[in-house]
Amino acid sequence: MAIRYNESSRSFQLDTKAASYVIGVVDAEGFVGHAYFGKKLGEDDVTYLMRTGEGPYTPETNARDRLSFLDSFPMEYPTGGIGDFRESAIVVRSSGGHRALQLTLDSYEIFKGKKPLEGLPATWGSEEDTETLELVLTDKVLKVKAILSYSIFEGIDAVVRSVKLINESDAPVFIDRIMSASMDMDNRDYDKILLTGSWARERRIDRTPVNYGIQGMSSLRGEEGHQTHPFMALLDRTATEDAGDVYGVNLVYSGNFLTLADRGQFDTVRVMTGINPEGFCWKLNPGECFQAPEAVLVYSAEGLNGMSHAFHDLYREHLIRGQYRDRKRPILINNWEATYFNFNTEKLLDIARQASKLGIEMLVMDDGWFGNRFDDNRALGDWFVNEEKLPGGLKYLVDEVNKLGMKFGIWVEPEMISPDSELYRAHPDWAIQVPGRTAGLARNQLVLDMSRREVQDHVFDMIAGVLRSANIEYVKWDMNRPLSDLGSYSLSAERQGELYHRYVLGMYRLQERLTSEFPHILLENCSGGGARFDAGMLYYSPQIWCSDDTDAIERLAIQEGTALIYPLSAMGAHVSDCPNHTVGRTTPFETRGYVALAGTFGYELDVTKIPEADRNMIPEQVAMYHKYNDLVRTGDYYRVASYQQNHMYDCWMVVKKDRSEALVTFIQVMGRANAHSRRILLKGLCPDKTYRIEGEERTYLGSTLMQAGVLVGNLWGDFKGKLIHIVEA
At 677, the amino acid letter reads: S
E strands present in 569-644: 571-572, 575-576, 602-604, 636-641
CB 489 within 8 A of CB 433: no
Three-state SS for 249-273 is: EEEECCCCEEEEEEECCCCEEEEEE
Which pLDDT score is estimated for 382? 98
CB 305 within 8 A of CB 639: yes
Q: For 432-440, which contacts have Cβ atoms below 8 Å and span 24 or more sequence positions?
A: 432/483, 432/485, 432/486, 432/487, 432/488, 432/499, 432/503, 433/485, 433/487, 434/485, 434/486, 434/487, 435/487, 435/489, 437/485, 439/484, 439/485, 440/484, 440/485
Q: Kindly indicate whether the domain formed by 640-728 is annotated with CATH number 2.60.40.1180.
A: yes
56: preceding bond cis by omega (within 30 degrees)? yes
| Distance from C-alpha of 445 to C-alpha of 397, rounded to nearest angstrom | 28
What are the domain boundaries of the chain? 2-318, 332-634, 640-728
286: preceding bond cis by omega (within 30 degrees)? no
Which pLDDT score is estimated for 297? 98
The pLDDT tens digits for 542-565 are: 999 999 999 999 999 999 999 999
| Distance from C-alpha of 187 to C-alpha of 659, rounded to nearest angstrom | 36
Q: For 512-517, which contacts have Cβ atoms below 8 Å and span 24 or more sequence positions?
A: 512/540, 513/460, 514/460, 514/463, 514/464, 514/475, 514/477, 514/540, 515/321, 515/322, 515/540, 515/541, 517/464
The total of other beta-carbon atoms located within 10 Å of residue 378's CB is 18
Q: Which residues contact 607 (CB under 8 A, 6 or more apart)?
A: 333, 338, 351, 354, 355, 358, 360, 615, 618
| Distance from C-alpha of 194 to C-alpha of 229, rounded to nearest angstrom | 8
Which pLDDT score is estimated for 726? 98
CB 175 within 8 A of CB 282: yes
Which pLDDT score is estimated for 290? 98
CB 242 within 8 A of CB 305: yes
CB 364 within 8 A of CB 410: yes
Positions of the chain with pLDDT lower than 50, given as ranges: none
Which pLDDT score is estimated for 434? 97
Q: How buried is 326 (Cβ within 10 angstroms: 0-12 exposed, 13-18 middle, 19+ buried)? A: middle
How big is the CA angle at 579 (ends 475 and 561), to the nearest 5 degrees?
A: 60
- Provide the whole-model pTM: 0.97
Name the fold adopted by 332-634: TIM Barrel (3.20.20)
Active site residue 186: no
At 55, the amino acid letter reads: G
Active site residue 478: yes
Out of 15, 367, 548, 606, the active site residue is 548
State how far Cα 718 lies from the chain centre.
Answer: 32
| Distance from C-alpha of 76 to C-alpha of 66, rounded to nearest angstrom | 17
Which pLDDT score is estimated for 54? 94
Name the fold adopted by 2-318: Beta-galactosidase; Chain A, domain 5 (2.70.98)
| Distance from C-alpha of 640 to C-alpha of 681, rounded to nearest angstrom | 7
| Distance from C-alpha of 292 to C-alpha of 304, rounded to nearest angstrom | 28
Q: Please state, rounded to an integer, the average pLDDT across all residues of the chain.
A: 97
Which pLDDT score is estimated for 557? 98
The pLDDT tens digits for 625-669 are: 999 999 999 999 999 999 999 999 999 999 999 999 999 999 999
Out of 15, 478, 551, 606, the active site residue is 478
Q: Which CA distances in Å does 108 have to 31, 141, 168? A: 14, 20, 18
Alpha helices in 275-383 (DSSP H): 303-318, 336-339, 345-358
3-class secondary-structure state, position 58:
coil
The pLDDT tens digits for 183-218 are: 999 999 999 999 999 999 999 999 999 999 999 999
Taking alpha carbons only, the member of 628, 133, 49, 103 closest to residue 331 is 628
